[in-house]
Amino acid sequence: MKKSYTAIIITILIGLFVLLQSLFVVDEINTAIVTRFGEPIKTVQSPGLNFKVPFVDQVRKFEKRLLIFDAPPDSLLTSDKKRLVIDIYARGKIVDPLLFFKTTRNETLAASRAIDIISSELRREIASDLQAEIIKTSREQIMNNVKGLANPKIKEFGIELVDVRIKRADFPEEIADSIYGRMIAERKRKADKERAEAYEIDLTVRSEVDKNAAIIRAVADEKSKIIVGNAEAEAIKILSEAHSLNTEFYRFLRQLEAYENSFTKNPNTTIIIPEDANILKSFFGDISSAAKPFPLIPNTD
């Protein structure tokens, strides 16, 4: 009885093992080729659970997603006999899994062949373009041309190119320093020219401003002198009219101002005033005709 149970269990286990060997799953990111004794017999592109003959059939899975073909940087010669180091890559996808399996067997070999084809077409395309055009204007056209030339050849492996891109296009290291030196010298020349032009403009503007300022000052000075002159003339006129009303009083004020100025400049100065001086007449009248109560100058005899 125990032997029969053991046989049943073994049979079930063998059946499960055989069943598992008969099933395989294809993801949505893969496509599969079923081979029998190394020869492809079926292609599975839809995701899901699939069957195969156990122990006889083998399943090879390939990517449905984009494949990257990254070529190493290469020094290429342009049509004007100048060299550029160009780094390029391409993207493609497997559109015919069966053809892909028959021609390349695996993605590593497919990438190697695709890179060789793309590099060859790139070399041919670069040889027909000028260095300056490649650097400045022609990159998009070059990439489209390389894609158009390489795609039919790569389709022979069941792969379709999606796009080709240039990562960088640089000068070789042996000439990069001299080129950068010329670029720096050119930029410096332009900068010096712009500085000189700016300095010239600065001098012109400053000269114009100084001239305008001098004109404004001269006009203002002229107007101020005219205003001052008119004011002084008006003041003299008013003063003259005021003095004409009483000439004696004006003469008296002038004498006081004269004596005041004499005393103020040097207070220690001794001033001798004669008897007939006008200042004494203004204060005391005509002293020479009046009685003299005391002599103005003491008699020393």
Which of 75-79, 89-93, 273-277: highest mean pLDDT? 89-93
- Count helices and strands in the chain by DSSP H and E runs: 8, 9
pLDDT value at 288 more than 70: no
Q: What is the pLDDT of residue 151?
A: 94
Whether residue 294 is predicted with pLDDT greater than 60 in this model: the reply is no
* pLDDT at res. 291: 45
* Residue 219: Cβ within 10 Å count: 10
pLDDT at 80: 85
pLDDT at 275 over 70: no
Q: What's the average model confidence in pLDDT over 118-140?
A: 87
With 0.85 as the threshold, say if the pTM is over it. no
Q: Cα–Cα–Cα angle for 54, 58, 64, nearest 5°?
A: 130
Q: Are 121 and 88 in contact (CB under 8 A)?
A: no
Q: Is the confidence at residue 299, as pLDDT, over 60?
A: no
What burial class does residue 69 get, using C-beta atoms within 10 Å of its C-beta: 0-12 exposed, 13-18 middle, 19+ buried? buried
- Find all residues with CB under 8 Å of 162, minimum gap 6, and list them: 66, 90, 91, 92, 93
For 43, other C-beta atoms within 10 Å of its C-beta total 14
Task: Check residue 301 and give its pLDDT.
Answer: 42
What are the tokens at 39? Answer: 């020869």
The DSSP code sequence of 113-142 is HHHHHHHHHHHHHHTTS-HHHHHHT-HHHH
Give the pLDDT mean for 1-30. Answer: 79
Angle of the 247-265 helix axis to the 173-244 helix axis, nearest 10: 130
Indicate the range of 104-118, 139-153, 162-176 predicted with least confidence: 162-176
* 115 Cβ contact list (under 8 Å, min separation 6): 69, 70, 71
